[in-house]
Amino acid sequence: MVIVRANELIILLIVFICVSLLLISLLLLISFISIYSNFHEEKLSSYECGFQPFEDTRQKFDIKYYLVAILFIIFDLEIVTLFSLSQIFSLMALIWVSIFIFVLTLGFIYE
């Protein structure tokens, strides 16, 4: 049985934090050194959708985008999990899962 003293754990924690900070600093330094900024006319032109490439990135947009994304994830996970479970167990499980997904779809339509 290995007995670890508190002093050894504190030293290990300090070494871990120092190595982490060193790695973070090194990666930031490399990224700032290796930046190559060459602005051509094509880079500064607007995108195909008409947005300017250098506008404020913190624009407000409708919450419906978040809602659709969350609902997609919920439906995706529910269908994959429940349908595969119903295939493993029985026909009755498939019926219950289909009813559940139908009710979930009704809630989505109501939303």
CB-CB contact of 82 with 100 (8 Å): yes
Report if residue 38 sits inside a domain: no
Report if residue 29 sits inside a domain: yes
CB-CB contact of 94 with 87 (8 Å): yes
Residue 72 has pLDDT above 70, yes or no: yes
Domain count, the chain: 2
Report if residue 23 sits inside a domain: yes
Look at residue 105 in the predicted model and tell me its pLDDT. 81
Stated length of the chain: 111
**Highest mean pLDDT of the ranges 37-41, 60-64, 67-71:** 67-71
Look at residue 11 in the predicted model and tell me its pLDDT. 92
| Averaged pLDDT for residues 57-74 | 74
Report if residue 43 sits inside a domain: no
Report if residue 25 sits inside a domain: yes
Report if residue 87 sits inside a domain: yes
| Averaged pLDDT for residues 72-92 | 77
87: domain range?
62-111
Residue recorded with tokens 């600093």: 25
- What is the four-CA torsion angle of 60, 64, 65, 67, rounded to 10 degrees? 130
| Averaged pLDDT for residues 69-87 | 77
Report if residue 19 sits inside a domain: yes
pLDDT tens figures, 25-59: 999 999 888 776 666 676 666 665 656 656 555 66
Report if residue 110 sits inside a domain: yes
